[in-house]
Chains A and B, each alone.
Chain A
Amino acid sequence: MKGALIADELRVSIDSDSDIVSARQKGRELAAQCGFPSTELAVVATAISELARNIVRYAVRGEIVLRLIDNHGGKRGVEVIAADDGPGIPDLTLAMQDGYSTSGSLGLGLPGVRRLMDEFDIVSEFGKGTTVTVRKWKR
């Protein structure tokens, strides 16, 4: 489901662990504008945590873009785009399996984010970086 942007997007560059906190905070605030209940806000913050953690760990630096979106049918939601120009992922199918990384084997990491959010999309080119786009719609 493609969403239309309904407010200015927020960009947080991710460079260190402290940037993870500010990305979470901005994401939580933005999602709060949609009227998400507080547990769902925590879900959005968690997804941002995992995505930002991946950037810091595997790509060193990147960016998280946060947007409020509309599905043209009055449904609102929040979109999180995590982009880096790091080494990229050689095998996406493998990377999306739970056993691929230590966090994945616990159900965290990218597979965990996919399960928390309503929509999940990943594009990665080996040597050119990775972009993960996730969306959560308000019920």
Chain B
Amino acid sequence: MNPDVRELAAEYARALQGYLAGHGEAALQQAYEVGRQTLAKGLGVLDMATVQHWGLLRALAKSRTPQERSRALRAGQKLCVESLLPFEMAHRRVQEVNTALRDSEHRYRNLVDTARDVIYTLSSDGRLKTLNPVFETITGWSRTEWLGKAFAPLVYPDDLPRAAAMVQAVLAGQAPPMFELRILSRSGSYIPGEFMVTPQIHEGQIVGVLGVARDITDRQRADEALRHLNEALEEEIKRIAHALHDEAGQLLASVHIVLADIARELPTSSSQRLEEVRSLLNKIEEQLRHLSHELRPTILDDLGLQPALEFLADGVSKRTGLRISVAGTPGSRLPPATETALYRIVQEALTNVTRHAQAAHVAIAFSRNGHALCCSIQDDGAGFDVPTTRARRGQRGLGLMGIQERLNAVGGTLNIVSEPGRGTELLITVPVEATSADSHSARR
């Protein structure tokens, strides 16, 4: 017999003897404590039964008459219940834990079964272990066609090295950032997916990969639509700029010719006043030319971002009295989409400053940092609470949203530093030395 069990049995026998000797509740408590100790030593119900059996045999051996034996049996039954109660508590705990576990399992199952993202697990050799139902909805494949098979044939061949690298990283215990893969659908087309993968751990060991994949077809379409929209907008702006500059300019030229004719037929005193009209017309022409250039500066296409921004700054300064400085240089010519985006962003930022900031000075500064071009637009105006304004879909919020969307289209980022009373700084970073199309698909 296990020495622990032997010791507990001796204690239990003493409790039973004590009960028979009239110790009552103290003996019952003693039996309860034996049960408690049996449990605490990690022994089981069968060990408890051995302890009880052994104690009862001892008591029966000491009983001389049938009456004494029947008393011993009744006492044994009472102490048996007492010593089992700790096990009853432990049993109820297990039941409660099991119920909670079942509920938790049920909730988890529900979540996985109704999720709109594909949730899957891979074994360490790259086989699909689990797939949730939405996999079928998105890809058209039946899950049974893929469960137990290698995931590789599901991935667009060019994306496979990246997929393999991510699996290796996870199996090595790293948490790689989000990445994109194109996934083969049953119809043969590829679906763009955004992936998040983490290690799957069993008893402290990494046994596979747990992945969540989102179908980003709609998002890519929306980005695409936005790019088209911006391109269409640029075309429309070009048309309006042309109408302002060329067509209105021609009309003004005709007015000048007519005025010259009239001047010849008028006395000198009146032609003096006509001269004033001519001078006003010249100013209008000048303004129209300037507006048309700001709308779509030919400078931007011909000479690049910096001269175009200096021209823009000059025009805004003249109209509003705001002092604007442009420092640093964006460097060599950038892809047209990036140049246009940056020009529009600075234009939008300056509109925001004149409308809301009550600033005296705006500093625009460029710096190159490897593959990134940084542009800072800083004013000394009223400032604002960034989260509140970004969440608002009003005029100001829309302006910032427009900036953000233009940056999305060229793979750039926007950082806003502002506080009420402390001015505002927009920090813009765009990747350079890549065409806008490349930088878009490289975005993760």
Contacts and interface: CB of A to CB of B under 8 A. Distances in A.
A pairs with B? yes
Interface of A: 18, 20-22, 24-25, 28, 38-39, 42-43, 45-46, 49, 98, 102-103, 106-108, 111-112, 115-116
Contacts of B24: 25
Interface of B: 24-26, 28-29, 32, 36, 39-40, 78, 81-82, 85-86, 88-94, 96-97
Contacts of A42: 28, 81-82, 85
B116 to A, nearest CB: 34
Q: DSSP majority for the A interface?
A: helix
Given A106-B39, A108-B86, A112-B89, A20 B29 contact: yes
Contacts of A21: 25-26, 29
Nearest to A112: B89
Contacts of A43: 85, 88
Contacts of A112: 86, 89-90, 92-93
B78 A24 contact: no
A111 B25 contact: no
A39 B28 CA distance: 13
A2 to B, nearest CB: 25
Contacts, number: 67
Given A24-B28, A24-B29, A49-B32, A108 B82 contact: no
Given A49-B32, A102-B40, A106-B86, 20 more contacts: A21-B26, A21-B29, A24-B25, A24-B28, A39-B81, A42-B28, A42-B81, A45-B25, A98-B97, A106-B89, A107-B90, A107-B94, A108-B36, A108-B39, A108-B89, A111-B93, A112-B90, A112-B92, A116-B85, A116-B88
B48 to A, nearest CB: 13
Contacts of B78: 38
Contacts of B92: 107, 112, 115-116
Q: Which of A24, A28, A42, A98 neighbours the largest number of chain B CB atoms within 10 Å of its CB? A: A42
Contacts of A107: 89-94
9 contacts: A38-B81, A42-B81, A43-B88, A45-B82, A98-B97, A108-B39, A108-B89, A108-B90, A116-B88
A115 B26 CA distance: 24
Nearest to B24: A25
A98 B96 CA distance: 11
Contacts of B40: 102-103, 106
Contacts of B25: 21-22, 24-25, 28, 45
A115 to B, nearest CB: 4
Contacts of B94: 107
A25 B28 CA distance: 9
B287 to A, nearest CB: 72
Nearest to B40: A106
Nearest to A28: B25
Q: Which of A25, A102, A115 neighbours the largest number of chain B CB atoms within 10 Å of its CB? A: A115
Contacts of B91: 107
B56 to A, nearest CB: 17
A45 B93 CA distance: 19
A46 B89 contact: yes
Nearest to A104: B93
Contacts of A45: 25, 28-29, 32, 82
A25 B94 CA distance: 29
Nearest to B84: A42
A43 B91 CA distance: 14
A79 B239 CA distance: 88
Nearest to B83: A42
A103 B78 CA distance: 24
The 4 closest A-B pairs by CB, nearest first: A107-B93, A25-B25, A112-B89, A107-B90
B93 A115 contact: yes
Q: Which of B29, B93, B94 neighbours the largest number of chain A CB atoms within 10 Å of its CB? A: B29
A111 B97 CA distance: 12
B85 A46 contact: yes
A20 B26 CA distance: 9
A39 B84 CA distance: 10
Contacts of A24: 25, 28-29
A91 B102 CA distance: 27
Nearest to B42: A106
A51 to B, nearest CB: 13
Q: Which of B25, B39, B78, B88 neighbours the largest number of chain A CB atoms within 10 Å of its CB? A: B25
Contacts of B97: 98
Contacts of B29: 20-21, 24, 45, 49
A39 B79 CA distance: 11
